[in-house]
Amino acid sequence: MKVTPWEVSGEIDYERLIKEFGTSPLTPELKEEITKIAGDHVMLRRGYFYSHRDLDVALRHYKEGKGFFLYTGRGPSGPMHLGHLIPMIFTKWLQEKFRVNVYIEVTDDEKFLYKKDAEWGEIQKYTIDNILDIAAVGFDPEKTFIFRDSEYIANAYPLILKIAKKINFSTAKAVFGFTNETNIGMIFYPAYQVLPTMFEKKICLIPAAIDQDPYWRIQRDIAESLGYYKTAAIHSKFFPPLQGIEGKMSSSQKESAIWLSDDEKTVRSKIMKYAFSGGQPTIEEHRKKGGNPDVDVSFQWLKIFFEPDDGRLRKIEEEYRSGKMLTGELKEILVEKVCRFLEEHRERREKAREEIKEFMYEGKLASEMWGKRFE
Amino acid sequence: MKVTPWEVSGEIDYERLIKEFGTSPLTPELKEEITKIAGDHVMLRRGYFYSHRDLDVALRHYKEGKGFFLYTGRGPSGPMHLGHLIPMIFTKWLQEKFRVNVYIEVTDDEKFLYKKDAEWGEIQKYTIDNILDIAAVGFDPEKTFIFRDSEYIANAYPLILKIAKKINFSTAKAVFGFTNETNIGMIFYPAYQVLPTMFEKKICLIPAAIDQDPYWRIQRDIAESLGYYKTAAIHSKFFPPLQGIEGKMSSSQKESAIWLSDDEKTVRSKIMKYAFSGGQPTIEEHRKKGGNPDVDVSFQWLKIFFEPDDGRLRKIEEEYRSGKMLTGELKEILVEKVCRFLEEHRERREKAREEIKEFMYEGKLASEMWGKRFE
């Protein structure tokens, strides 16, 4: 198993990650606390978000009226796939329920620096494309600021420097695995990913996959010395690639992902062809022994997000496990759900074109942010 | 001897620096070439500028009509002293004679990152103060752009990233002596100091002390792959501190420097008290054995800058060497020269207050630069 902000591979032992990163499991009590305030969400209930740092503190601040704010991000290295959208959807839900500000960092600098052959112009093209997909998730245009690093640096370089001054190479090397070959831009970049946790003098809550946690670990070491709160975080597992539940859906393995732009025919063909099945080799055997939903990617996708109805999911699970439902039938259910989701997403995406300006420059929060200078 | 962009100490062997840094000596032929075009300058004639990279190429480009531009800088870690102003004066002369653009980088980021206890607000205060001193040197307000890093980052971050992507930690460590304890801001900073060499698609010529050469060495390794010229440079020796001709005048040793704000009384007292003398312990002995101008700081200051008249300097040298002129008399000559220079500088500084806007934002070159975005 390898888990860094730039690489996730092997069989993921999520419990081990909690121990290695030093985070805390998301307990039933804590989920219950969120549910009391915000209601229920499929990604909480089914354990897709499963670990945290100081979520209890963020909730306490909320209840005490001190509040909190949300921060998440996107590295615009290519078009977006389903795996990229999932934490955005959860973040949007939190915003809606807690009525808080959301900051979304689009890390064009990081992606340019990290990808050996990346051209700046190409990254910029994806930046605009990705922001449209993010806007389509339905964030509140008055309470959401989507920014790209290369633009907002104008307003925040001094605070980024203050953060950078607190992190030495030794720490960066230990936390991110930098080597002598790492370029000096990449070495500096973590300071920028820490920045948005200091956009307000409130506690920040970050919904993101657990591979991003090294940044928050560093943030928590230095935040108070700069006069800010240690950030809170709520960590998700990785959205599984079509080929199997190991690793994560990845842009660099084209056949592992369903892109937000994939049409119905493509979605069907990819799921039918690639989605790893927990079924048996022959119909006869399947009817007799049944399938294994625990390793079946189609079932896992339904569980994480696409079938929020617990009763229906239980029924699918039972029928698949018993052999009553065949792999093809299970996949058919997923195909339909994914296609409907993508169709609706693309409709919202078209409408979001007009909102981009609000999110990036003119909405209430965005225009406040462009009027600020972080020193 | 230790010579890095952040530390100069010990007895400086300038010839060894040429070998170690891989630069070229400024030959009589090359000086003659400059003189043919620009006339003479005391700092060239007397060998204060003594080494270069590709100065011959820059002059050839000039003669061929392709032109060149000048770039120098200042780290605003405190008030400016005489040593800081000397390369500015030479740069201004080059601008006047060649009628070229000058870019002056004020590295507030670097100084904040480098000085352990530096506060951002303090660095900003010195930035404004220093820019006033630089403006007083008399650069052409239409052809000069003075900028502070923390502001101009807004227009140049993408190109800085492209530069940073070409430099790995291994190179930065070898060239600048970075260690595991160096903060990640300092490690990134060299990319910004390289940036201004790419402000025009012409060859850049950098007049600066030789301790800055490591940056130009890196620039020359990567410039062409980014579509720019390898920079040229003309290197000066270090302006000697009052205590003796070793090392360089330094802000961190207060009694080594004459500040641009020192009044006549202070200047007199510092020179009389601290300026290392090549004279003998008693008047009798001095009359008999004579003084040694080669190690006498007052004489060296006259030679570098304050007595541009060769005839008069020769007379001073002869009289001092022979014992006819006493140390006190030599110092008196210097006191008068320095005080007159500082008085005139401060008059120009007052007038320059109105020009700051031109240099930084509104002059022809400055407003062009604020309209550009470097990607």
Give the C-alpha separation, B54 to B35, whole Å.
Answer: 17
Question: What are the residues facing B352 on neighbouring strands?
Answer: none
b/e map B94-119, b = 16+ CB within 10 Å: bbeebebbbbbbbbbbbbbbbbeebe
Residues 6+ apart with CB under 8 A from B238: B8, B12, B83, B209, B210, B211, B247, B248, B249
pLDDT confidence bin for B254, thresholds 50/70/90: confident
Query: What is the DSSP pairing of strand A144-148 with strand A102-106?
Result: parallel
Residue A242 has pLDDT above 90, yes or no: yes
Q: Is B371 part of a structural domain of the chain?
A: no
pLDDT band at A162 (very low <50, low <70, confident <90, very high): very high
To test the contact with chain B by mutation, choose from A106, A108, A159, A161 the residue with the greatest count of B C-beta atoms within 10 A, namely A161
**Residues B211, B340 within the same domain:** no
* A167–B contact, CB cutoff 8 A: yes
Distance, in angstroms, between B332 CA and closest chain A CA? 46
Per the domain annotation, does B360 fall within a domain? no
Tens-digit pLDDT profile for residues B133-144: 999 999 999 999
Indicate if the pLDDT at residue B253 is higher than 80.
no
Strand ranges (E), chain A: 2-4, 7-9, 24-25, 49-53, 68-74, 102-106, 144-148, 203-209, 232-236
Distance from CA of A124 to the nearest CA of B (A): 11
Q: Is A144 helix (H, G, I), strand (E, B) or coil?
A: strand
Q: Please give the Cα distance from B103 to B73 (Å, whole number).
A: 8
Task: Please tell me which of the candidates A153, A172, A188 has its beta carbon nearest to residue B153.
Answer: A153
* Residue A368 resides in a domain: no
Give A145→chain B minimum CA distance, Å.
18
Chain B residues touching residue A179 (CB < 8 angstroms): 169
Domain finish residue from A180, A213, A242: A242
**B161:A190 CB<8 A:** no
Determine the average pLDDT of the residues in B308-320: 98
B373 in A contact zone (CB under 8 Å)? no
User: Strand, helix or coil at A153?
Assistant: helix
- Strand A24-25: give its sheet, edge to edge: A24-25, A49-53, A232-236, A203-209, A68-74, A102-106, A144-148
**pLDDT (0 to 100) of residue B97:** 98
**Cβ within 8 Å, pair B184-A173:** no
Contact of B117 with chain A, judged by CB distance below 8 Å, is answered with: no
Residue B214 contacts A, CB cutoff 8 Å = no
Which of these three, A185, A215, A242, is where a domain ends? A242
Inter-axis angle of helices A149-165 and B149-165, nearest 10: 100
What string of DSSP letters covers A173-229? HHHH---TTSBHHHHHTHHHHHGGGGSSSSEEEEEEEGGGHHHHHHHHHHTGGGT-P
**How many structural domains are present in chain B?**
2
Q: Do B162 and B283 fall into the same domain?
A: no
Identify whether the C-beta of residue B51 lies closer than 8 Å to the C-beta of residue B30.
no
Contact A178 B157 (CB under 8 A): no
The pLDDT of residue B247: 79
Which H helix or E strand runs over B28? helix B28-38
Domain co-membership, A205 together with A342: no
pLDDT at A349 over 80: yes
Do residue A194 and residue A338 come from a single domain?
Answer: no
- Whether residue B295 is predicted with pLDDT greater than 90 in this model: the reply is yes
Average pLDDT over residues B53-80: 97
Q: Which residues on A lie below 8 Å from B375 (Cβ)?
A: 120-121
How far apart (Å, rounded) are the C-alpha atoms in residues A291 and A327?
8
The DSSP string of B2-16 is EEETTEEES---HHH
Paired tokens of A222: 């230095």
Chain B residues touching A153 at Cβ < 8 A: 153-154, 157
Same domain? For B34 and B157 the reply is yes
Q: What is the pLDDT of residue A250?
A: 81
pLDDT of amino acid A144: 98
Q: Beta-carbon neighbour count of residue B36 at 10 Å?
A: 10
Amino acid in position B222: I
DSSP string, B36-80: HHH---HHHHTTSEEEEESHHHHHHHHHTT--EEEEEEE--SS--
Element (H, E) at B144: strand B144-148
Query: E strand or H helix at B103, and its extent?
Result: strand B102-106
Angle, CA of B199, B156 and B142, to the nearest 5° = 45
pLDDT over 70, % of chain B: 100
- What per-residue confidence (pLDDT) applies to A249? 84
Average pLDDT of the segment spanning B80-90: 96
Rounded CA separation B55/B34 (Å): 10
**pLDDT level of residue B245 (50, 70, 90 thresholds):** confident
Q: What is the pLDDT of residues A170-223, one digit of tens each?
A: 999 999 999 999 999 999 999 999 999 999 999 999 999 999 999 999 999 999
pLDDT tens for each residue of B48-59: 999 999 999 999
Collect all residues with Cβ–Cβ distance below 8 Å to B25 and sequence separation of at least 6: B15, B18, B50, B51, B52
Contacts of A191 in chain B (CB under 8 A): 184-185
Q: What pLDDT does A194 receive?
A: 98
- Cβ of A109 within 8 Å of Cβ of B161? The answer is yes
DSSP H or E segment with residue B208: strand B203-209
Compute the radius of gyration of chain A from its Cα atoms: 21
The answer to whether residue B214 is domain-embedded is yes
In a domain, B24, yes or no: yes
CATH at B82: 3.40.50.620
State how far the Cα of A44 lies from the Cα of A28, in Å rounded to an integer: 10
Predicted complex ipTM? 0.96
d(CA B54, CA B50): 13
Q: Give residue A64's domain range.
A: 2-242
> Is A185 in contact with B164 (Cβ distance < 8 A)?
yes
Q: What residues have CB less than 8 Å from B288, skipping those under 6 apart?
A: B280, B323
The tokens describing B366, both together, are 């400055």
Give the percent of chain B with pLDDT over 90: 94
CB-CB: which of A170, A181, A375 is closest to B180? A170
**Average pLDDT value for residue range B303-325:** 98
- Please give, one letter per residue, the 3-state secondary structure of A249-280: CCCCCHHHCCECCCCHHHHHHHHHHHCCCCCC
Which amino acid is it at A133? D
Residues B296, B297, B298, CA angle at the centre, nearest 5°?
95
Instruction: Give the number of other CB atoms < 10 A from CB of residue B241.
Output: 24
B119 and B159 in a single domain? The answer is: yes
At B11 the pLDDT is: 87
Work out the minimum CA distance from B43 to partner chain A, whole angstroms: 36
At residue A342, the 3 state secondary structure works out as helix
Q: Is the Cβ–Cβ distance between B248 and B208 less than 8 Å?
A: no
Backbone angles phi, psi at A362, to 5 degrees: -110, -15
Please indicate whether, in this complex, the C-beta atoms of B181 and A170 are within 8 angstroms of each other: yes
Q: How many whole angstroms separate alpha carbon A23 and alpha carbon A10?
A: 21
Among the listed residues B71, B151, B72, B80, the one whose alpha carbon sits nearest the alpha carbon of residue B109: B151
Interchain CB contact of B165 with A (< 8 Å):
yes
Tell me if B130 sits within 8 A of B76, measured CB to CB: yes
Overall average pLDDT of the B180-188 stretch: 98
Pairwise CA distance, residues A73 & A212, whole Å? 10
Do residue A153 and residue B157 have CB atoms under 8 angstroms apart?
yes
Over residues A82-92, the mean pLDDT reads: 96
Per-residue pLDDT tens for A295-305?
999 999 999 99
List of residues 6+ apart from A291 with CB closer than 8 A: A277, A278, A279, A280, A320, A321, A323, A325, A327, A330
Q: How far is CA A227 from the centre of its chain?
A: 28
Cα torsion A72, A77, A80, A81: sign: negative
pLDDT digits (tens, 9 = 90+) for B21-63: 999 999 999 999 999 999 999 999 999 999 999 999 999 999 9
Residue A167 to residue B188, Cβ atoms within 8 A: no
CA A55 – CA A31 distance, rounded (Å): 10
Both tokens assigned to A158: 């001094």
Considering only CB atoms, B120 lies closest to which of A182, A191, A375, namely A375
Q: Does the structure show a pLDDT above 90 at A247? A: no
Domain assignment present for A222: yes
Q: Is A320 found in the same domain as A265?
A: yes
Read off the pLDDT of each residue in A237-265 and give the average, rounded to a whole number.
89
Residue B161: the pLDDT is 98
Q: Are residues A261 and A210 in the same domain?
A: no
Are residues A227 and A301 located together in one domain of the fold?
Answer: no
Residue B238 lies in a domain: yes
Candidates B166, B183, B190; nearest CB to A167: B183
Q: What is the mean pLDDT of residues A157-175?
A: 97
Has residue A369 been placed in a domain? no
| 3-class secondary structure, B275 | coil
CATH number for the domain that contains residue B343: 1.10.240.10
Mean pLDDT calculated for residue range A42-53: 97
What pLDDT score does B250 carry? 81
A324 and A181 in one domain? no
CB of A102 closer than 8 Å to CB of A95: yes
A165 touches chain B (CB under 8 A): yes
| Residues A8 and A28 reside in one and the same domain | yes
Confidence of residue B249 (pLDDT cuts 50, 70, 90): confident
Residues A183 and A271 in one domain: no
Q: What is the CA radius of gyration of chain B?
A: 21
Residue B252, pLDDT above cutoff 80: no
Q: Which residues of B touch A184 (CB under 8 A)?
A: 164, 167-169, 172, 187-188, 190-191
Tokens 């040298």 belong to B317
Range B324-333 average pLDDT: 98
Q: Which of B182, B214, B242 is the last residue of a domain?
A: B242
